[in-house]
Structure 1
């Protein structure tokens, strides 16, 4: 007789939303760019999963640029997005390498409910809290980016007692969980009212939006340690890469 398995996990131990993510990718591949996916309720019925599982899987694909969500209209197949693999370095290291003096102002450091994408990456139980760390990053005292990081309390029980005005990567390393690998996407966006005020730019000004999923641990694929969204002033930050065949 087969053993029963806990809700949300299939027989291989894979989370249901990851299985659904693959199914939605296959569904999207059968559609043209700009075509709409079925609504959330229909997807629930099609794949026999909960609404939160549907939303998490869609959030993953929206974040990765495969789907586009339009408020009040639905979810559509993306027309595509250019991605670049960037080097693994902290903001402080980046700024110092460029000849600037980095500094950080902590806006928010709290324990609260994370958004779906962060909860999914960190593999949190439903309704479990996470640390939210929101910081303004500066170079030579001029605002460059707003970073919002979500981190797992189970691995970092003393995080809020740490000095969070320096390198978060160094804090993670000192806690025994150094960042070993990241998956990152970059896209163009427009500054919201909140971001515009913090970065001292006009409402709707162009910004660069970085979504980063970080992992710790010596073995692949690693243990999720951080989910972050960083918003950079496009007139103060330039992406540089070296490509080879």
Structure 2
């Protein structure tokens, strides 16, 4: 992108108490958020330095911070581009398939593996299984418009969901559970944390090992019977989480809202 194609700056970087790199960062942030669609190239460091009359070190610092925030992304040999907008992941029980379609995206699912094996103790306890009782393990890769977004590795109750692997698991799992088992999960406890991508997860998601991920572990049930213990790894550069917070006492016995997407 030439400097002429970049939005004409209405702000200037001036001497003052605010560091120049911070001023330039906010100028660039405004252009990225208000005027440039995802995937748009921005001018080179040299062009930006000339345009705003600052050093290239100042430009590099401003751009680096916006890359860390996920607003810009660097492509080796090609330049710096506005990043793909993050999907707002709201915490409620909804099929991944339905959620992506609601956003106007085309969802697809790749089955990575189906096995029956002894789960970790935490999963056995979560699903109410006996000692050394096998559970159904399902691993899937979820895409939207061809872009890999999430890796799911989940465990399912072997008795209540017998025959699960005979279903078309490339479709919405929740729709399959409703259709074939009359199961409609109505409650879940979910824990969210940040994690760096290991090599296998990074390979599946098409990102570098060590890239940031949002991880969700959810135990879902119907009528109090736990049926699913699922952990999902979402790309940190494509997702953000929105939560509604209500004022309540930790001792009120009212849990926060939990959920996710499947």
Q: TM-score with structure 2 length normalisation?
A: 0.58
2: distance between equivalents of 1:119 and 1:85? 28
Give matches, 1:68-217, under 5 Å. Answer: 86-174=91-179, 175-217=181-223
Shift of 1:158: 1.2
Cα deviation, 1:196-236, whole Å, max 9, x if unaligned, reads 0000110110000000010012xxxx000100000000111
* SS of residue paired to 1:194: helix
Number of residues of Structure 1 aligned to a counterpart in Structure 2? 158
Could you say which structure has the greater relative contact order, defined with CA pairs below 8 angstroms and 6 or more residues apart? 2
Shift of 1:241: 3.0
Gaps of 5+ in 1: 1-83
Give matches, 1:218-229, under 5 Å. Answer: 222-229=224-231
Gaps of 5+ in 2: 1-88, 248-262
Shift of 1:244: 4.9
RMSD across aligned positions (CA): 1.6
Cα deviation, 1:115-149, whole Å, max 9, x if unaligned, reads 12211111111000000000000000110000011
Runs of 4+ in 1 over 6 A off after TM superposition: none
Confirm or deny: 8 A CA contact 2:100 2:106 kept in the other structure.
yes
Confirm or deny: 8 A CA contact 1:211 1:230 kept in the other structure.
yes
Q: TM-score with structure 1 length normalisation?
A: 0.62
1: distance between equivalents of 2:163 and 2:154? 16
* SS of residue paired to 1:207: strand
1: distance between equivalents of 2:97 and 2:204? 19
